[in-house]
Structure 1
Amino acid sequence: MVVSEVIDSHGNKAPSGRVWPDWFPLLKAFRNCDKKKTVWQLISTIIPYFSLWYLMIQSIQQGYSYLLTLALGVVAAGFLVRIFILFHDCVHGSFFASKGANTFWGHFLGVLVFTAYEDWRYSHLRHHGTCANLDARGLGDIWTMTVREYESASTLVRLQYRIYRNPLVLMVAGSLLSFLVGNRFPTRGGGARALRSVILTDLLILAVGGGAWAVMGWKTYLMIQIPVLWIAGIGGIWLFYVQHQFKGNYWARKRDWTPLDAAMQGSSFYKLPAILNWLSGSIGYHHIHHLSPRIPNYNLKQCYGSVPALQAKEPITMMKSLACLRVKLWDEEGKDMVAFN
């Protein structure tokens, strides 16, 4: 083990005396951006996405069954999830070496995923700095109560929490509510930059939507945009849920919390089939992402294969991930996520 002064998600010093494993410096080699890979990811993601839009427009205008449109929409939603991952890399400054390029493409991709770049950057970086910290919950994470908090809460709060944690609410309804409604307003505490970003993104979404409306008609536009955004949103929220809500998880009070434990124990390794891993930009290697967010998505798998200590993390398979739906509360005494009963 070594004492580190350089390890932090975004280059800040770790707290004094914090101990990091001696393998941690190995991660630095995977932070370099590869411009060719970055450009290819943009091309191989955005062009298929818009091509699918063209096919969906034609399927509606040519009078084909709407089921065909929805089938194409499911595939398009997969690409939209991937677009969000590229947007996410821009937020961390890991997609391009240039800050200006990350900002430009972050705003551009943000319009496609209905998310303001600077506003989401504010809340998401807070999530990375406070992940699994019981004394810093409430921003950029999923509402998680402890057993003690739940038992001492009022009947109304318990009911609100149960409704919120219901998968139909959190993911199915929450998908459209989050991306269509919630993202139209700035995060509290985000400041003027986040507010300007939300206003700019909202105006661009209106402009793009208005242009599409004029070209294809409002009915065709809504018949495509709503289901694609909805399905992609469900997929994205599910990924985020499994990344931090699972048996064997880690939460700690501020005095005991460490970023190493938050990454290696409080973030999952979601092992997905190859096509889903590609569409999700390898974000299943989430323990690595929290250890070093500056690693581009296309280097995560290679990093995992090169550092044996990272492979000690027990993976969650797709089948096992379904059990994550049962965990609702953090048991401080038992040190694990538990169900309501």
Structure 2
Amino acid sequence: MDKENNRNENWRKIIAPYMRPDVKRSVWQVINTIVPFFLLWYLAYLSLSVSYWLTLVPVCLAAGLLVRIFIIFHDCCHGSFFPNRKANEVLGTLTGILTCCPFHQWRHSHSVHHATSGNLDRHGTGDIWTLTVEEYLALPRLKRMAYRMYRNPLVMFGLGPTYLFLIEYRFNRKGARRKERMNTYITNLGIAAVAGLLCWSIGWKEFLLIQGPIFLISGLAGVWLFYVQHQFEGTYFEKDEKWDYVEAALRGSSFYKLPKILHWFTGNIGFHHIHHLSPRVPNYYLHHVHKKNTMFQSVNSITLLSSLKSLNFRIWDENRKKLMGFGYIKRFLKAEENRTTG
């Protein structure tokens, strides 16, 4: 117990100086992210008269910037982008319109995710739907099929982002309070106003030719990042009585080693173990904290190549403490049959 208390006290001391946002850095990040996003969007429109293949160049860059805008939105939801709560709410709502995410609704579900990540008894809100082998086998046939479809990469990274950002986020969750409901309505009206204004000014076809691929590319990248942040080889899941916050952060949240340019576009969210230790650390400080102590550097890391293995993970086996593919279910059932009959 003393060792655990010392460890907790140690990481808190290291992280504490980085939990205060720097207003100048935050403002500069808004400028170097949102301004070029709008410029690239306009450049994409101008290039339509030349060649659509040429248009895809600024479109891809704009999609990367939209991921970075989402990280700003994400920090605002944690109250870590500005010292002022109202400033976080205003910027979070505006960036929520750009990313199709209602600020208050997303803040609630994401807070639950942080409080329960890796906890097998409390999972299901704000995270990737992940069942244990026993939970899966206890489901009726139709729900098993639904889970298999959900975990299919074509659904998760193809249909998933479209459903999530365009449909699910347009509706309030059950039990949402008035302020949260109103924020969702404001976000929906903002999205409709921006889309309507652009369709009126440049034409709906032109709007779709530009915003369509920006949305699809950034949505796929965003869902992929969220997926590999917790669905990787060596990740952490435990029952409530054994679950530990620090272990869930350091072992159950990935350190995604990306090229520097991709760390920039993704707002350093690859240092996800640091983010889960303290979501009050702004994205621009995450890599500094990572370098501060060997405890943060000794975690399991994944690369662009090794992260592709995560596509094979479907279900959590409590006996092996590993994510497995669906093919493991047959082997598990056969082993259980042999055990009971033998």
- TM category (shorter chain) comes to over 0.9
| Counterpart code for 2:321 | K
Please tell me the residue identity of whatever aligns with 2:282.
P
Rounded to whole Å, the distance in 2 between the matches of 1:51 and 1:168 is 32
Contact 1:119 1:193 in 2 (8 A): no
Q: Distance in 2 between matches of 1:260 and 1:189?
A: 30
- 1:220-239 equivalence runs, <5 A: 220-239=206-225
Cα 1:171–1:144 change in 2 (3 A) is same
2:31 counterpart residue number: 43
User: How do residues 248-287 of structure 1 correspond to structure 2 at under 5 angstroms?
Assistant: 248-287=234-273
Q: What root-mean-square deviation, in Å, do the aligned CA atoms of Structure 1 and Structure 2 show?
A: 1.6
Cα contact 1:285–1:301 (8 A) shared by 2: yes
Structure 2 distance, partners of 1:231, 1:91, is 23
Aligned to 2:315: 329
In the comparison of the two structures, how many residue pairs are matched? 327
Counterpart amino acid of 2:45? I
Q: Write out per-residue CA displacement over residues 71-99 of structure 1, whole angstroms, 9 at most, x where no aligned residue.
A: 32111100000000000000001101111
Q: How has the CA–CA distance of structure 1 residues 41 and 163 changed in structure 2, closer, same or farther, with 3 Å as cutoff?
A: same
Q: Deviations over 1:28-84 (max 9, x none)?
A: 111121111111100100111001110111112x2x222222232111100000000
Deviations 1:164-195 (A, max 9, x none): 10111001111111111111112233332221
Q: TM-score, normalised by structure 2?
A: 0.92
**Structure 1 unaligned regions, length at least 5:** 5-16
Measured in 2, the distance between the counterparts of 1:22 and 1:206 equals 48
Q: Which amino acid aligns with 1:45?
A: T
SS of 1:23's partner is: helix
1:143-162 correspondence to structure 2 within 5 Å: 143-162=129-148
Question: Which residue of structure 2 aligns with residue 7 of structure 1?
Answer: none
Q: Does 1:118 align with 2:120?
A: no
For residues 160 and 204 of structure 2, what CA distance do their matches in structure 1 show? 24
Which residue, 267, 283, 291 being the options, matches 1:297?
Answer: 283
2: distance between equivalents of 1:287 and 1:183? 26
Aligned equivalents of 1:148 and 1:38: distance in 2?
A: 46
Distance 2:9 2:302 in 1: 24
Matched residue type, 1:48: P
Provide Cα deviations, 1:255-308, integer angstroms capped at 9, x if missing partner. 111111110111111111111100000000000000000000000001111122
The CA distance in 1 between the partners of 2:83 and 2:196, in whole Å, is 34
Instruction: Pick the aligned partner of 2:15 from 18, 27, 48.
Output: 27
List alignment gaps of at least 5 residues for structure 2: 328-342
Q: Give the conservation status (yes or no) of the 8 Å contact 1:122–1:190.
A: no
- SS of the counterpart of 1:337? strand
Matching residue within 45, 70, 90 for 1:57: 45
| Structure 1 consecutive aligned stretches of length 4 or more whose deviation exceeds 3 Å | 1-4
What secondary structure, in the 3-state scheme, does the structure 1 residue paired with 2:316 have? Answer: strand
Matched residue of 1:316: which SS? strand
Report the Cα offset of residue 320 of structure 1. 0.2
Percent identity, aligned pairs only, is 46
Tell me which protein shows more helix as a share of its residues: 2
Match of 1:98 among 84, 92, 111: 84
The aligned counterpart of 2:293 is: 307
Alignment of 1:64-79 (within 5 A): 64-79=50-65
TM-score, length basis structure 1: 0.92
Matches of 1:2 and 1:42 in 2, distance apart? 43
- Alpha-carbon separation, structure 2, partners of 1:120 and 1:78: 21
